[in-house]
Amino acid sequence: MNYSFQFGPVFEAWPLLLHGTWMTIQLSFLAIAFGSMVAVFCAWGKTAGPAPLRWLVHVYIEVIRNTPFLIQLFFFFFALPAVGVRWSPYTAALVAMTFNLGAYATEIVRAGIESIPKGQIEAGLALNLSRLEIFRYVILKPALKAIYPALTSQFILLMLASSVVSVISADDLTSVAANLQSETFRSFEIYIVVTAIYLLLTLVFSYLFRLLYQWGLDYPDRR
């Protein structure tokens, strides 16, 4: 192979790569936060909500889980403006990622909720806890502890899938890499660096999620 590696143009563009990395982190964390709230509400609706709500949640999950994320992204960015709902690329990416994560995480949270023995719920009722207190302390927290590895794996997959949002010109890391490639034509070097950045992000996310588990879910049990 007679290829001359030239990483200079890539490293000269480090402010752009740093900006793209920050946008990827920002999009991922916001989508994780909003998607988790959607998942908890939908999981509650599917397990304890009224029949119409259970049906709506079921339809939402089936639609999201059985269609490509790219099509969902196009729906929010290209289709909705036809009916007057207009988004910036960033907002469309965030909404699409939130809805996508919400559907997958709902089933994970639901499985955790349904794993809680009914005897614990009855004990909460016997202690005169409110329904909200029972859901928060007796059901949700033990459920999250049981499903935490699966849930955080889904979060990391979402972060990696965020690279798709570059197709609507959202200013993420992959979009920045594509722009740099078109300017420098150093595809090999650019995507080596971008691969390393995504790998580093995955490791950092995994470490942060382990810290969160120890601080929020595991620590109280050791007191």
**Alpha-carbon gap, residue 146 to 113, rounded angstroms:** 9
220 vs 119, higher pLDDT: 119
pLDDT at 122 over 60: yes
Alpha carbon dihedral 208, 211, 212, 217, in 10-degree steps, equals 150
Q: Residue 83 pLDDT > 50, yes or no?
A: yes
- Note the pLDDT of residue 14: 92
The backbone region for 72, taken as left when phi is positive above 0, alpha when psi lies in -120 to 50, beta otherwise, is alpha
Indicate the length of the chain as a whole number. Answer: 223
Q: Per the structure block, which two tokens stand in for 21?
A: 């990395």
Separation CA 70–CA 64 (nearest Å): 11
**Higher-confidence residue: 125 or 165?**
165
Helix (H) or strand (E) holding 183: helix 173-184
Which of 58-62, 67-71, 114-118, 176-180 has the lowest average pLDDT?
Answer: 114-118
User: Can you list the domains of the chain with their CATH numbers?
Assistant: 8-222 (1.10.3720.10)
State the DSSP H helix or E strand holding residue 10, giving kind and residue range, or none if neither. Answer: helix 8-12
Residue 51, pLDDT above cutoff 70: yes
pLDDT computed for residue 217 by the predictor: 66
pLDDT value at residue 219 = 55
> In the chain, pLDDT over 90 holds for what percent of residues?
62
